[in-house]
């Protein structure tokens, strides 16, 4: 660590709650000359009972106030253990790390105001108590990033566009960053863009529906479709795919965000019913959901991006970047755009979001805003997150 740089851990747990991703970054300076380098990254799987309860609660199943409080602190312990495990794997002492940025686990997100107790209200809730994380690791922790943007009238999502802009802005090339996590989201960065020209939004589902179908049909023996093996054994079902592409969310204009509240258990039951109606076998339905993921991304680009912005490169990250059927479908549908895995530009596909929250924490620690109002719909810039300080020495 140089005199003016900081070592920062970024910690991310996505919609699928399959693992806690940890990235170690060296960061210095300030935008537009901020310098950030990903040094190492790793993933630590959730304890199975904890993951099961997180998914249950995120599906809006009942939990008491006491249960939610316990889950918040228990998850804080799990994230702290993941941070310390990562330090051991990275062979770095926690005392050398200046800061942690922890996204926490989203268990509710309603970015658009909806009627509630007499007033239109938007809200978001990420749990994983950061005070536990700061105390167990001895590292000052920034967490709870989304509410500050919602307070400014934004949707609190997506937040990764700030990192995308710093990483991928190019004077001559229009670029698009696509993250295929539980949900698919894009960041559009026109050539030579200023921050106010960034467009970003969730395009629809990615791994969430595919994983849910795999778990359902294998009775939880498998959690995801490795290398799209099951999907590629399925047969095409155009009528089923056409029904999926009529999803109303696809037509909503950005800014927009979505999650398990829309594409969770209720949507899965609708998808299973559609499969039965169209006489789709299990692998046929997994194939349809996989192609739906790819085509919903393409639909979003054709509908909201490409008529206005010339895109030369599409940079893909997230777990879905490892799915050859998704990757192939997107490539075939966008023949004039170069499709590039994010690893070719220095950030491995499964590390980008954790890296992004290291950057957001760094900016918050320096009292600088890091939301992108043109992406979230916020009225103005906001300093994101809340700081839990490490215990005094």
Q: What is the residue-level pLDDT of the chain in tens, covering all 393 positions?
A: 445 899 999 999 987 788 999 999 999 999 888 999 999 999 999 999 999 999 999 989 999 999 999 999 999 999 999 999 999 999 999 999 999 999 999 999 999 999 999 999 999 999 999 999 999 999 999 999 999 999 999 999 999 999 999 999 999 999 999 999 999 999 999 999 998 899 999 999 999 999 999 999 999 899 899 999 999 999 999 999 999 999 999 999 999 999 888 999 999 999 999 999 999 999 999 999 999 999 999 999 999 999 999 999 999 998 898 999 999 999 999 999 999 999 999 899 889 999 999 999 999 999 999 999 999 999 999 999 999 999 998
Helix (H, G, I), strand (E, B) or coil at 179: strand
Report strand pairing: 338-341 vs 99-102.
Answer: unpaired
CA nearest to 42, candidates 11, 18, 77: 11
Instruction: State residue 39's pLDDT score.
Output: 97
The model's pTM is 0.91
Give dist(CA 362, CA 367) in Å, integer: 9
Contact between 337 and 302 under an 8 Å Cβ cutoff? The reply is no
Contact 73, 130 (CB under 8 A): no
Residue 272, pLDDT score: 97
Which CATH topology does 5-157+353-388 take? Nucleotidyltransferase; domain 5 (3.30.420)
CA angle 70, 94, 72 (to 5 degrees): 10
How confident is the model at residue 37, as a pLDDT? 95
Whole-angstrom distance between the N-terminal and C-terminal Cα of the chain?
A: 21
Q: Check residue 92 and give left, alpha or beta (phi > 0: left; psi -120 to 50: alpha).
A: beta
Stretch(es) of the chain classified as CATH 3.30.420.40: 5-157+353-388, 161-345
Q: What is the pLDDT of residue 1?
A: 46
> 161-345 has which fold?
Nucleotidyltransferase; domain 5 (3.30.420)
**Which pLDDT belongs to residue 4?**
81
Q: What's the pLDDT at 3?
A: 54
For residue 19, the tally of other CB atoms under 10 A from its CB is: 18
Rounded Cα–Cα distance for residues 317 and 179 (Å): 5
Q: CA–CA separation, 3 vs 13, rounded Å?
A: 31
């Amino acid at each position: 660590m140089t005199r003016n740089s900081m070592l920062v851990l970024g910690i991310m747990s996505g919609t699928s709650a399959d693992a806690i991703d940890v990235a170690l970054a060296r960061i210095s300076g300030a935008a537009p000359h901020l310098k950030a380098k990903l040094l190492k990254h790793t993933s630590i799987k959730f304890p199975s009972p904890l993951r099961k309860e997180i998914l249950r609660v995120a599906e809006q199943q009942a939990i008491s106030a006491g249960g939610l409080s316990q889950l918040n602190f228990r998850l804080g312990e799990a994230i702290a253990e993941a941070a310390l495990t990562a330090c051991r794997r990275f062979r770095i002492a926690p005392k050398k790390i200046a800061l942690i940025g922890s996204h926490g686990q989203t268990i509710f997100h309603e970015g658009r105001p909806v009627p509630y107790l007499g007033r239109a209200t938007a809200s978001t809730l990420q749990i994983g108590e950061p005070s536990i994380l700061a105390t167990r690791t001895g590292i000052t922790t920034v967490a709870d990033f989304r509410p500050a943007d919602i307070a400014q009238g934004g949707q609190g999502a997506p937040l990764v566009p700030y990192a995308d802009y710093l990483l991928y802005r190019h004077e001559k090339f229009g670029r698009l960053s696509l993250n295929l996590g539980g949900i698919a989201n894009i960041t559009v960065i026109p050539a030579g863009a200023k921050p106010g020209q960034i467009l970003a939004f969730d395009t629809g589902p990615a791994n969430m529906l595919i994983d849910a179908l795999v778990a359902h049909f294998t009775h939880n023996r498998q959690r995801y479709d490795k290398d799209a093996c099951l999907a590629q054994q399925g047969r095409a079902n155009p009528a089923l795919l056409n029904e999926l592409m009529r999803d109303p969310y696809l037509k909503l204009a950005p800014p927009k965000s979505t999650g398990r509240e829309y594409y969770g258990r209720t949507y899965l039951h609708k998808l299973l019913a559609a499969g039965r109606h169209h006489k789709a076998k299990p692998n046929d339905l997994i194939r349809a959901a996989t192609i739906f993921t790819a085509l919903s991304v393409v639909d979003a680009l054709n509908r909201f991006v490409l008529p206005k912005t010339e895109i030369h490169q599409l940079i893909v990250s997230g777990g879905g970047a490892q799915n050859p059927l998704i990757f192939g479908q997107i490539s075939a549908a966008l023949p004039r755009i170069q499709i590039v895995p994010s690893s070719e530009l220095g950030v491995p596909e499964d590390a980008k979001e954790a890296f992004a929250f290291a950057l957001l924490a760094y900016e918050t620690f320096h009292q600088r805003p890091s939301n992108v109002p043109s992406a979230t719909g916020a009225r103005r810039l906001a300093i994101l997150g809340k700081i839990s300080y490490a215990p005094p020495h």
